[in-house]
Amino acid sequence: MESNAGTLETRSNRTASEREEVAALESLQFTDEIHRLMSAPATDNASSFTALLELPAPQAVQLIHSPDSAKLIAAPAPNVEDVKGGFHFPSNGGLIERAARFSVFAGEGNNKSDSPEATSNNSSANLQKAVKSEPAETESSQPLISDPTVENRGIKRKDREKVKGQTKKSKTTAKESSDDAEKLPYVHVRARRGQATDSHSLAERARREKINARMKLLQELVPGCNKISGTALVLDEIINHVQSLQRQVEFLSMRLAAVNPRIDFNFDSVFTAEGVPPQYLKELLIKLYDKRKSSGSLMDSNFSGMVMPMMWPEVQLNSNRQQYPQQLHFDAFQQPVWGREEVCNNYLTPENSLLSYDSSANSGNFLDTLNEST
């Protein structure tokens, strides 16, 4: 026991800092702590809860009455994790009991001073929730025995924790784990009750959760997949859906190919607008043609940006397609017509469209007419 106390004293500073680490329970790293706890002397034979704390007795007594509940609540945590590691089962059951009872004392002690309790409440609400869930997570039934004792005390904080621990534990852990997975750069997943805690299974669980999240997304996308349960069937549905979509695209391309012979002239008629006076358009076309001659390449996005707004708003007036016959007097200006087409051809390459967002923005306006047909 004395040797225990001596080693405990030497380790007290370390455990204090450890406790602070553990206090930030959002970033648990189980392997490190388990190793640390393994190196700690076995607290099997310790009968006093001061050994439970791995602290010398006077400090422990001080902690009981201190308003800082963070340390107190975090204290049982290392031991609980020790249990989770599954190293010393029977004795740690007793430890858990004592931890529960001790935390009861802590609660009482804190109830004496209200304001620190409030602050400590706020600061360590998460801690308490988490820590209380941890004792409940052990496989032995002893925490359950200790729970009624806690509840019988009627301490409101502990009751809240207990309720949370028992009923909503999985939800909170799931939520925490998912939050952790989303917020933090590397995955911190809380181990749930009855699940292994080594890093491999944790990583696997995180991976599985990611995959399940994506499967859910896919299920929403594919119609009729919500009712199906089971990965294989859902994947079947997804494959069928992708195949059907690809087939549809193929059929549509065949249809378009059949419609296509007219496309040159449709291009003409589409671009001309009814309400535009012919002279204005003629000037526009001539300007385009000259610009094209003067500037060597038409990869200039500014150019397209300038041209398109002039052309497209006119087309927007043309909502009725029956105006096509009336446009055809523009064809009298053969040169400008072809020139315009050439111009359009040159600057409306896909690569340019990719680079110049202007053309796409302006084409969007033009396509209002297209989309009225949808």
| Residue (35 or 216) nearer to other proteins, CB | 216
Tokens coding 114: 């209200």
CB of 69 within 8 A of CB of 120? Answer: yes
CB of 189 within 8 A of CB of 181? Answer: yes
| Residue (38 or 249) nearer to other proteins, CB | 249
Compute the least distance from the CB of residue 271 to other proteins, in Å.
10
* Identity at 18, one-letter amino acid code: E
| Residue (73 or 308) nearer to other proteins, CB | 308
Compute the least distance from the CB of residue 287 to other proteins, in Å.
18
Query: Rg (Cα) of the chain, in Å, rounded?
Result: 37
Q: For residues 196 and 85, what is the distance between their CA atoms, to the nearest angstrom?
A: 9
For helices 156-167 and 89-112, angle between their N-to-C axes, nearest 10 degrees: 140
| Residue (42 or 242) nearer to other proteins, CB | 242
How far is Cα of residue 330 from the mean position of the Cα atoms in its chain?
56
Compute the least distance from the CB of residue 167 to other proteins, in Å.
29
Tokens coding 328: 């055809």
Spell out the long-range contacts of 181-186 with Cβ–Cβ below 8 A and sequence spacing 24 or more.
Answer: 181/206, 181/209, 181/210, 184/26, 184/27
Compute the least distance from the CB of residue 244 to other proteins, in Å.
9
Compute the least distance from the CB of residue 246 to other proteins, in Å.
7
CA angle 250, 266, 308 (to 5 degrees): 100
| Residue (156 or 216) nearer to other proteins, CB | 216
| Residue (152 or 373) nearer to other proteins, CB | 373
| Residue (58 or 350) nearer to other proteins, CB | 350
Compute the least distance from the CB of residue 14 to other proteins, in Å.
31
Q: For residues 193 and 191, what is the distance between their CA atoms, to the nearest angstrom?
A: 7
DSSP 242: H
Compute the least distance from the CB of residue 308 to other proteins, in Å.
8
| Residue (13 or 373) nearer to other proteins, CB | 373
Give whole-number Cα distances, 367 to 156, 269, 272, 285, in Å.
64, 14, 14, 21
Compute the least distance from the CB of residue 247 to other proteins, in Å.
10
* Helices of type H across the chain: 2-23, 30-39, 49-53, 57-65, 69-74, 76-85, 89-112, 114-137, 142-153, 156-167, 169-183, 199-221, 231-259, 263-271, 278-294, 301-317, 324-327, 334-347, 350-355, 357-371
| Residue (104 or 270) nearer to other proteins, CB | 270
Compute the least distance from the CB of residue 146 to other proteins, in Å.
39
